[in-house]
Structure 1
């Protein structure tokens, strides 16, 4: 574990400009552009060469164009994968004439796993186990400490910390039903000071917690910082794994391993 940087003077949120657009709408628009490009290529091939390009080559070109445009426009990495896989999945479903019930099952499963990704633009990110000692190092030792992981997924961070600090209280909040249910069951089996909420973290009052930990996405950070500043008590701690608050210098930047993301720590 290495402290990359530290400071004593708190930063201020700098104004940022930008238009927030739906990534789903952008992804569909790029798929349409990729389809138009592929169709024009198909038409030119038929006209000039009599149809040399096979449908599979055209499909691969379509997928590659969609993924490349997503990369060039700065979409997150998981969108590159979705954009590339989408046309293949669509063709497979049509060729093999999959039963509508199978498609409905897959859709419902994805909804339960990624309940709020469309609205919050925050996908599931599993934390690395090497992160835990870094968090633990920053936690005050007092027994009445209340720690919460917002966007807790399957509960790994809070559950692991609760095992290390059984005298303290650990919480998690998650909006996706399946990850929340798994974390709730794990907490019930453990029987420690541990609780998971099926909620949007915006519905919580951060004044109830001494430490807030987040592993969300760059999109969520500006609004989250405003909530942190308006609700958390003096001397409370906010930690964010990998993602910085734009325009706000962290009090500590910690790296658990050379190839791991940074842990950013702000003391309120």
Structure 2
């Protein structure tokens, strides 16, 4: 989600909370936490009106109330700085990518492995996180070449360190939109609804005809899936599978 609407939603919440602070008589409702809850509710409502993903509603609703609660803890300021840096290293610029940090479970990796072509093939995981899915497939399919792309520093570092034990896995740091998919037989992505149209345009423009895009949970709008797979895990994961069309 772009930064401007995020700030706009938060600002709207502060305006309403400020008006209440000015208009209400002294009492419990003028305390920081109730006002913060109002601010969060307004910000979340505005974010919903902006068409933001649902997970952004929760962030808007909880951000200022959590700041108020955290400010009451007797902690050295250095702890807050450390927490901020840690979150930044884990999530990086989620506001720009519009993709939260998701992890693919073992059941999903096993289901994806069943879709891979026989023999040597090349698989690219766009937004691989700590690489769990790649390493599970790499162990089962040593003849396959697997490439993970991750833009968040800490998950990338963890994946890079783990890749030392898997010679058929390569982990790259960078923007998924800059990844070269021209030699990929299968591209796997667990992103969000927001970038799916753009992702489809990228794979159609770069991947070979009849190659496979597998999207965890999020379908490509207005594109018929070649196949849909119910993984059967606790979160009821569905894999939306698309064949890259032949260009006339």
Q: Are residues 1:40 and 2:19 paired?
A: yes
1:11-70 per-position Cα deviation (integer Å, ceiling 9, x unaligned):
xxxxxxxxxx72x32222222222222232333321xxx535240323322223323443
Equivalence for 1:255: 230
- Structure 2 regions of 5+ residues with no counterpart? none
Question: What is the number of residues matched between the two proteins?
Answer: 242
Cα distance in 1 for partners of 2:177, 2:21 equals: 49
Equivalence for 1:147: 123
Deviation (angstroms), 1:80:
2.3
Cα distance in 2 for partners of 1:53, 1:202 equals: 47
Kept in 1: contact 2:105–2:133 (CA 8 A): no
Q: Which has the higher mean CA deviation after the structures are superposed, 101-110 or 195-204?
A: 101-110
TM-score using structure 1 length = 0.81
TM-score using structure 2 length = 0.87
Equivalence for 1:4: none
Q: Are residues 1:179 and 2:155 paired?
A: yes
Cα distance in 1 for partners of 2:214, 2:79 equals: 41
Deviation (angstroms), 1:186:
1.0
Q: Which structure's CA Rg is the greater one?
A: 1
Give the SS at the match of 1:138.
coil
Q: Which has the higher mean CA deviation after the structures are superposed, 201-210 or 91-100?
A: 91-100
- Structure 1 regions of 5+ residues with no counterpart? 1-20
Q: Which has the higher mean CA deviation after the structures are superposed, 93-102 or 256-265?
A: 93-102
RMSD: 2.3
Q: 1:166 to 1:181 in 2, by over 3 A?
A: same
Kept in 2: contact 1:45–1:52 (CA 8 A): no
Q: Between the two structures, name the one with larger relative contact order (CA 8 Å, sep ≥ 6).
A: 1
Equivalence for 1:27: 6
Structure 1 segment 1-268 matched on structure 2, within 5 A: 22=2, 24-46=3-25, 51=27, 53-55=29-31, 56-92=33-69, 99-142=76-119, 144-189=120-165, 191-257=166-232, 259-268=235-244
Deviation (angstroms), 1:180:
0.8
